[in-house]
Chains A and B, each alone.
Chain A
Amino acid sequence: MAEDREPPPLADAVQTDFREVEEGEDLFVSTVSTLSPTSPEPASFPAEDISTNSNGPKQEILLDDDQEDLFAEATEEVSLDSPEREPILSDGPSPAITPVTPTVIITPRVDALFDRSLDEVKQISINVLYLFSIIQAFYFCLQGDGMNAYMAYKVTTKTSLSLFSRNEFSVKRRFSDFLGLHSKLASKYMHIGYIVPPAPEKSIVGMTKVKVGKEDLSSAEFVEKRRSALERYLMRTVNHPALVKDPDVIQFLENTELPRAVSTQALSGAGILRMVNKAADAVNKMTIKMNESDAWFEEKQQQFENLDIQLRKLHASVESLVCHRKELSVNTASFAKSAAMLGNSEDHTALSRALSQLAEVEEKIDQLHHEQAYADFYLFSELLGDYVRLITAVKGVFDQRMKTWSKWQDAQVMLQRKREAEAKLQYANKPDKLQQAKDEIKEWEAKVQQGERDFEQISKNIRREVERFEKQRVKDFKVVIIKYLESLVHTQQQLIKYWEAFLPEAKAIA
């Protein structure tokens, strides 16, 4: 086995940064500034860029004529010396304070840098107006007893949008409230082609454990997982320019009391109706053969199909990684104990000490693996899970378009039939029936026109939605993957620290 050769000498710029890093500095801030003279200093984005391109970004965010731009009012308020935007928006779900904090060290700086650049270059107007919700889960809010107990989630919203009566407010919500919100939004918007973000899935097992009062690690993890998922769901919903204006959403965020969403229960009447509808839809999907005139749709559908397959595969692999990483952590801890025991029984003093040191190093490493597993999960795995569900929603929207087309086609067929009936009646000479037939024709002509309009509308909406979705997807993935890679870097940093501390101990064995 050939020993690896030394890596080729790095460019000087990068080399210096490594040395800096060894003293505990954050690499990215220093490197970005030294690396390329063309890239702007993150802290001070040239304000001139924005003013000259003010038409550009404004057009980007101005949505279609049908939808008034929510943030249009904001563009006038932009001043060239915009206040330093609070980095809260970019941090997304991470700063939530919960009783169970995932021990992930995510450096917010890269994301802030990224988002600052992204936003400052394109959407400076949004800086001034923002909406941001965090969710905290409280154990002691478990109200009721036994199986009637439920977990209450505190939703805190900070916003400067004029839609809301205050700038900052909190409400208590149950899991079923979130599901209820989603179901309302889906029924309102999916059939016109909006991609409504899917809510997190129910889990009877998980909740039962919590209800039973098991104060152990797995139920704590479950609550944290759910809290985090709900937060992401809410953020995605409010980031949708149309959905955030919806009265149901506003009510959800603001109102202290909310009518209980009973229809979200699986075995309720509404639940069963939903299942029946789903089955009917599935059958319809198979029977509708659409004449696709628009190549864009065909192409997009195929792309989403492929994306779905790959993301599912990736998700499965990442979940497997999380599992093995947790296993590695446990096994390393167990080995550490064993090594400590071995060190104790070793009668050569220096070797004994070295073995004890090894045990300590391995113990620290096991903690490291544990944290890395958390990062694997919360950053990577959950993102993939979310997107697998989102793509299902996207596919649903395409299916809605098919349904709309089918309705339009059916109306045309009906119209044809009515016309034929009228023609027949013309010869049969029945004046009253003839009038009825003529009325029906008018009715169906209107329906055909409506059908066509609906179809065109949904097609337009879908195009816009898909474009927004893709942009969001790109951003989400880039941000998360970069954060994830950072967590990997951090792990390696720590490993280096630990082994460097151990090496002299090992060498000291005489």
Chain B
Amino acid sequence: MQTGLEKVLEWFPRAVNVDLQTDATLQVDISDALSERDKVKFTVHTKSTLPNFKQNEFSVVRQHEEFIWLHDSFVENEEYAGFIIPPAPPRPDFDASREKLQKLGEGEGSMTKEEFTKMKQELEAEYLAIFKKTVAMHEVFLCRVAAHPVLRKDLNFHVFLEYNQDLSVRGKNKKEKLEDFFKNVVKSADGVIVAGVKDVDDFFEHEKTFLLEYHNRVKDASAKSDRMIRSHKSAADDINRIASTLYTLGTQDSTDMCKFFLKVSELFEKTRKIEARVAADEDLKLADLLKYYLRESQAAKDLLYRRGRALVDYENANKALDKARAKNKDVLQAETTQQVCCQKFEKISESAKQELIDFKTRRVAAFRKNLVELAELELKHAKKIRQNLYIGNLQLLQSCLAVLKGDT
């Protein structure tokens, strides 16, 4: 569905990127975005004083697949095995929203003009919210990369930022997707084996058990929070319909109820608007937070897996070396293999420790920020609803009393 140029200049406060020291040497953001039929075009804007770039400030247009390409290139790069690779942004998904708008269009005949316009506005707002969210997710990814001391120097990253033509990155075709699927299966099976190996280092052993449990629980919490917020939205929709029907009753009624109904309808309408905002804010501060840390904890687990894999390889290489020395055959080869494995393992271990500590810091800060903001927003909205209800209720009561006094 063509929505035309959507200049999204006001951003939702970024849900999760806290503590990203964006210094003057490299600043990245998404300054604009365009939603077309089935894709979103992001305008990636860079400001940098680094000599690597031809200019100090420039912009390029990128699509989702190019972000994925960049992410995958990090994952596949052996040099970065010791880092938590910032998780890839989720694919922009407007299907649900589009479906709802379509259903609305089909049901246009069955509702009044006001109802239709109201629901249309609602759905358009929802569409816009999803749009803003996907932009924010993509931006967070880039900012994390830019903030990372090593990843920011990556060549692919620079090409991504600067090359102002299409990167000709196509999405994976069926065969490649199937390959990926099998790779994942093998990887998870391997992951189980690797995880079973007890680590000498207490820090990593603890992190391993912690991350496994944490990841599962975040997944659960994320799913449950989504369900809760959906129920909230459904309830708000019901209140919307109730408000409309009360309005109709108000216009039709023959007794002095008409003013009453109109007033109540107005109250319900106001309440509904705020309830919808509550659901949206919960979505942003809670659900999105959990979803993000689901992905990040997975990335951390991947890091531990890589380290575990390297450890197993190292231990195997040691055993092979011993065997070779015993048999006195291919000793040199075994020695080089062992040395390579040792270096790889130590390199990963060194950076992994810092990465995991940083992960914890970021996580705590993000949760703090979001929980505080969640509580503040909930309070603000509840107070607003209460205030509206008080005043409305008061006015209704007063009008009742006035009528009674007048009636004698």
Contact = CB atoms under 8 A, between A and B. Distances in A.
A379 B38 CA distance: 47
B221 A341 contact: yes
Interface in A233-251: none
A1 interface: yes
B248 interface: yes
B227 A325 contact: no
Interface in B226-264: 227-228, 230-232, 234-235, 238-239, 241-242, 245-246, 248-249, 252-257, 260, 264
Contacts of A486: 393
Contacts of B271: 488
A487 B218 CA distance: 34
Given A303-B254, A321-B235, A334-B224, A506 B213 contact: no
Interface residues of B, number: 71
B401 A474 contact: no
A335 B407 contact: no
A500 B379 contact: yes
B238 A320 contact: yes
A2 B371 contact: no
Contacts of B210: 345, 347
B385 A492 contact: yes
A31 B38 CA distance: 56
B39 interface: no
A328 B383 contact: no
A321 B242 contact: yes
Nearest to A358: B371
B319 to A, nearest CB: 34
B185 interface: no
A332 interface: yes
A27 B367 contact: no
Q: Is the contact region of chain A dominated by helix, strand, or loop, or is it mixed?
A: helix
Given A331-B228, A495-B382, A317 B364 contact: no
A56 B405 CA distance: 13
Nearest to B293: A342
A328 B382 contact: no
A223 B32 CA distance: 59
A489 B407 CA distance: 29
A27 B235 CA distance: 27
Given A335-B227, A348-B364, A485-B389, A499 B10 contact: no
Contacts of A317: 238, 241-242, 245
Contacts of A493: 386
A88 interface: no
A18 B390 contact: yes
B375 interface: yes
Contacts of B220: 338, 341-342
Nearest to B372: A506
B386 A313 contact: no
Contacts of B264: 481, 485
Contacts of A417: none
A7 B384 contact: yes
Interface of B: 10, 12, 132, 210, 213-214, 217-218, 220-221, 224-225, 227-228, 230-232, 234-235, 238-239, 241-242, 245-246, 248-249, 252-257, 260, 264, 267, 271, 360, 363-364, 367-368, 371-372, 374-376, 378-380, 382-387, 389-394, 396-398, 400-401, 404-405, 407-408
12 contacts: A4-B384, A14-B390, A321-B235, A324-B231, A331-B230, A341-B217, A347-B360, A350-B364, A481-B260, A499-B378, A500-B379, A503-B375
Interface of A: 1-2, 4, 7, 10, 14, 17-18, 27-28, 31-32, 35-36, 39, 49, 53, 56-57, 110, 113-114, 117-118, 121-122, 303, 306-307, 310-311, 313-314, 317-318, 320-321, 324-325, 327-328, 331-332, 334-335, 337-339, 341-342, 344-348, 350-351, 354-355, 358, 470, 473-474, 477-478, 481-482, 485-486, 488-489, 492-493, 495-496, 499-500, 502-503, 506-507, 509
Give 3 nearest A-B pairs by CB, closest first: A328-B231, A321-B238, A492-B386
